[in-house]
């Protein structure tokens, strides 16, 4: 796997310079089917350091342990890895990072080995190197090196975990990604809702709005530099755009008709949204810099909740033209509208998968509100969460998992939860407060 240095600018202002990267033998076998592949045993010993040096993020020896711990945590959060017991084996010395002692890793059953180093540079930054080895064959599979500020060591660790993850599963990277959501405090009658952003694992949590106005449904731009969201600021329901790094924030459209439910097109230049014009709620497309909205739908019913296909050619959305909210698909110019949800009950919050094949949704059926997935043509409708109050699915960048909002029946608070797209164990994502409306950043290259 090769990560181009230019592609690492996904987060403006972060200097995660790629120092080296190889992909030895990257093309020598087809990518395995991630859903059928058995879990791989992987050894992840603490990183080595040439010299213990104090940095802004602690000394390099401590960082070496923290980085390997984070790689372990990332890979353990998937079902594709079993972590070998590295405690039974001598911690690799610095020279062994590039010349591993394969027999000792075979002795603990490892098929793969991640090793690496962290060194302090004279300019105050860190050099973090990451190596992936095939223990059985005794050869290097991949290496990556990063120059980061000490406070950005987590990103390098996530990228290292991504290297192992993409190698084993054939999927897109997923750990060096961020989640936007709405943090909720206050009371039921007077809720305080703030736009929040955090790393995929909950680190680096920041608020982008101050809670003075209720905010809803954040959606990432494809590059991860902006978030479109719905706001009640000024007592007016309207879509706003927040710049994630500068926190600059502006209305998308001038004062006028109510607008809500934004979604970025994959090109990042267009936003689809709902507008209420003359008492009719339809979908429109508007340039992400503003401008005149272009009408996409004309039906007298409600059209809302748009989600673009990854090629940008189609839009999934919610309409109640049949008498109840259902999911429809149309071309991105509004033509060829047709209903695809027929599983019974009410549907909404369509989310098109990164591979373009599937659409996740919320389905209300009797007392249960659950998350489900169907093919983009509407076939194969299946439920993947148990409910009873789940909502708002958002795909992981690699399409393997769904992040969604869940009402915890005990505390009556909403939280974020993840479930594998094929179904399985639901994991709670820790947030400082009640959490709703998650959006997982789309693929960072």
Partner 1 sequence: MNCKLPILFGVSLTIAASAASAQIPWPRLPVIFPLGGSQPGSPPPPGAAPVTAPPAALQAALAASAGSDTVYFSANGFTLDSNAAATLTAQARWLLTNAMVRVRLEGHGDSTDTRDYALAIGERRADSVRDFLVAQGIAPERISVLSWGKERPGSIRIGASSVAAGPRVVTVIQ
| Structural tokens at position 277 | 């014009």
- Told to check if 214 binds partner 1 by CB under 8 A, we report yes
Q: Applying CB under 8 A, which of residues 305, 334, 397, 438 lies at the interface with partner 1?
A: 305
Q: Please, which of residues 83-102 interact with partner 1 by CB under 8 A? A: none
For residue 210, list its beta bridge partners.
none
Listed ranges 8-16, 168-176, 212-220, 419-427: which one lies at the site for partner 1 (CB under 8 A): 212-220
Q: Is residue 189 part of the contact set for partner 1 (CB under 8 A)?
A: yes
Query: Measured between alpha carbons, how far is 300 from 289 in angstroms, rounded to an integer?
Result: 28
Does residue 191 belong to the site contacting partner 1 (CB under 8 A)? yes
- Decide if residue 218 touches partner 1 (CB under 8 A): no
How far apart are the C-alpha atoms of 53 and 61, rounded to whole Å? 8
Near partner 1 by CB under 8 A: residue from 14, 192, 237, 299 = 237
- N- to C-terminal Cα distance for the chain? 11
Nearer to partner 1, 107 or 324 (CB): 324
Rounded least distance, CB 227 to partner 1, Å:
16
Helices 60-76 and 153-169 meet at what angle, rounded to 10? 40
Is 288 a binding residue for partner 1 by CB under 8 A? The answer is no
Half-sphere exposure of 120 (CA within 13 A, CB side): 16
Place of tokens 């005990």: 410
Q: Which is nearer to partner 1, 65 or 276 (CB)?
A: 276
**By the 8 A CB rule, do 375 and 355 touch?**
no
Among 216, 299, 383, 426, contact with partner 1 (rule: CB under 8 A): 216
Write the secondary structure of 380-404 as one string of H (helix), E (strand) and C (coil). CCEECCCCCEEEEEEECCCCCEEEE
For residue 288, the minimal CB distance to partner 1 (Å) is 19
- CA-closest candidate to residue 118, choices 139, 137, 97: 97
How far does Cα 156 stand from its chain's mean position? 17
- Which is nearest to 115 in space by CA: 64, 75, 173? 64
Closest distance between partner 1 and the C-beta of residue 392, in Å?
A: 7
**Residues in region 261-280 near partner 1 by CB under 8 A:** 261, 274, 276, 279
Q: Is residue 360 within 8 Å of residue 395, measured between CB atoms?
A: yes
CA distance 193 to 213: 7
Q: Does 369 participate in binding partner 1 (rule CB under 8 A)?
A: yes
Q: How far is the CB of 444 from partner 1 (least distance, A)?
A: 26
**Closer Cβ to partner 1, 71 or 302, answer by number:** 302
Q: With binding defined as CB under 8 A, does residue 325 bind partner 1?
A: yes
Site for partner 1 in 29-88 (CB under 8 A): none
Cis peptide before 388 (omega within 30 of 0): yes
Q: Does 187 bind partner 1 (CB under 8 A)?
A: no
Judge whether 242 and 227 are in contact, CB under 8 Å. yes
- Residues of this chain that interact with partner 1 (CB under 8 A) are 188-189, 191, 193, 214, 216-217, 230, 232, 235-237, 258, 260-261, 274, 276, 279, 281, 302, 304-305, 318, 320, 323-325, 346, 348-349, 362, 364, 369, 389, 391-392, 436-437
């Amino acid at each position: 796997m090769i990560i181009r240095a230019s592609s690492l600018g996904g987060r403006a202002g972060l200097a995660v310079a790629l120092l080296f990267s190889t992909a030895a033998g990257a093309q020598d076998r087809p990518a395995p089917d991630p859903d059928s592949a058995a879990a791989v045993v992987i050894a992840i010993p603490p990183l080595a350091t040439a010299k213990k040096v104090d940095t802004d993020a602690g000394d390099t020896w401590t960082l070496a342990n923290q980085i390997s711990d984070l790689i372990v945590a990332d890979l353990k959060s998937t079902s594709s890895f079993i972590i070998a017991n590295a405690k039974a084996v001598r911690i690799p010395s610095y020279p062994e990072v590039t010349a591993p002692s394969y027999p000792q890793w075979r002795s603990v059953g490892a098929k793969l080995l991640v090793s690496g180093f962290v060194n302090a540079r004279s300019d105050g930054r860190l050099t973090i190197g990451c190596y992936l080895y095939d223990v059985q064959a005794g050869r290097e599979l991949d290496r990556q090196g990063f120059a980061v500020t000490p406070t950005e060591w987590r990103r390098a660790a996530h990228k290292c975990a991504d290297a192992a993850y993409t190698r084993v599963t054939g999927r897109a990277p997923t750990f060096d990604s961020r989640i936007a959501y709405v943090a909720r405090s206050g009371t039921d009658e007077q809720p305080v809702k703030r736009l929040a952003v955090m790393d995929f694992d909950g680190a680096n949590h920041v608020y982008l709005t101050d809670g003075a106005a209720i905010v809803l449904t954040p959606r990432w731009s494809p590059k991860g530099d902006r978030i479109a969201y719905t706001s009640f600021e000024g007592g007016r329901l309207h879509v706003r755009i927040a710049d994630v790094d500068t926190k600059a924030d502006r209305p998308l459209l001038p004062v006028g008709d109510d607008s809500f439910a934004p979604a970025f097109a994959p090109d990042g230049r267009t936003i689809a949204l709902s507008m209420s014009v003359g008492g009719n709620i339809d979908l429109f497309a508007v340039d992400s810099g503003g401008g005149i909205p272009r009408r996409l739908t004309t039906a007298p019913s409600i059209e809302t909740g748009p989600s673009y296909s990854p090629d940008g050619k189609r839009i999934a959305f919610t309409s109640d033209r049949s008498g109840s909210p259902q999911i429809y698909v149309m071309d991105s110019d509004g033509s060829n509208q047709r209903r695809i949800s027929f599983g019974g009950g009410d549907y909404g919050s369509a989310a098109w998968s990164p591979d373009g094949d599937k659409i996740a949704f919320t389905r209300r059926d009797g007392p249960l509100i659950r998350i489900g997935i169907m093919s983009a043509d509407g076939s194969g409708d299946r439920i993947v969460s148990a409910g009873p109050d789940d909502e708002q699915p958002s795909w992981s960048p690699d399409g393997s998992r769904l992040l969604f909002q869940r009402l915890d029946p005990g505390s009556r608070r909403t939280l974020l939860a993840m479930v594998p797209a094929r179904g399985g164990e639901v994991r709670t994502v820790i947030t400082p407060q009640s959490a709703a409306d998650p959006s997982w950043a789309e693929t960072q290259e």
